[in-house]
Homo-oligomer: A and B are copies of this chain.
């Protein structure tokens, strides 16, 4: 396997020193996020849909209703783009022009394969669940045959991809450092709050640790 997932289509053109193509960087960003934006084309119109995902090795998994427009369009093997973006901060420069955002993003280009094998579907669903909230899968009622049939699961090979990362302080024009304007970074991150119990919990059922301790940090 190649060590780089760069192709001409995924090469970062703008500010190329923000680009990275190695598996370790790309996988670490994919593993830190849980929401992707999946792009596909129907009759020349692009659609971009938010959806949960999971990663196992060099495959991304997404799932959806077998009845959905997205799943039906994508399962036919059309080109897709999966983008994951983690926002780390607002970069406030002395000039309007140099304002920016600190972020980590990954773009994966490829084709989605619809999984038909029962065990492969179950494995992918477990992967998505454990990616989102490790430990949950073994606690819940697993999918029955009817639910499996109603669920489309897509696998997208991570073979053509790029990461883009911006870190750190603003970069102002030399002359602008003489201006008495505040500049810096406002860090932002995703935080989890105290879980809210469902109203219909059975007596004695307590909140599991993976829910009370859930605090997937997008920020640092």
Residues of A within 8 A of B (CB): 9, 13-14, 35, 37-41, 44-50, 52, 64-65, 67-69, 79-83, 85, 87, 90, 92-97, 99, 101, 103, 105, 107, 109, 125, 129, 132-133, 136-137, 139-144, 147, 151, 169-170, 176-202, 204-208, 211, 214, 216, 218-219
Contacts and interface: CB of A to CB of B under 8 A. Distances in A.
Contacts of A151: 97
A193 B198 contact: no
A26 to B, nearest CB: 15
Contacts of A13: 67-69
A170 B136 CA distance: 15
B184 A48 contact: no
Nearest to A173: B141
A106 to B, nearest CB: 10
Given A38-B48, A45-B109, A96-B142, 16 more contacts: A9-B45, A35-B101, A37-B37, A37-B48, A47-B109, A90-B132, A169-B196, A182-B206, A182-B207, A183-B201, A185-B195, A185-B196, A186-B211, A189-B191, A189-B193, A190-B190
A29 to B, nearest CB: 12
Contacts of A147: 95-97
